[in-house]
Amino acid sequence: MLSRNHKGLNFEKGDLIEWCRELLEIIADPDSTLLKKTGVELKVANSLAQLPCEVYRLLSVRVNGVTPTTNIIDDGDYLHMNFTTGTVKIDYYYLPETRDGIPVVSLPARQACYWYCLIKIKADEYERGFIREGVWDRWNKDLDYHISRARGSFKNMSRDDTNQIMKIMFNWVNIPQVPSTLD
**Over the stretch 132-155, which tens digit does the pLDDT of each residue have?**
999 999 999 999 999 988 887 555
Predicted model pTM: 0.66
Q: Output the CA–CA distances (angstroms, integers) from residue 114 to 1, 79, 94, 127, 179, in the order listed.
A: 7, 36, 22, 20, 54
**Over the stretch 20-68, which tens digit does the pLDDT of each residue have?**
999 988 888 776 678 899 999 999 999 999 999 889 889 999 998 888 8
Cα–Cα distance measured from residue 74 to residue 51, given in angstroms and rounded to the nearest whole number: 9
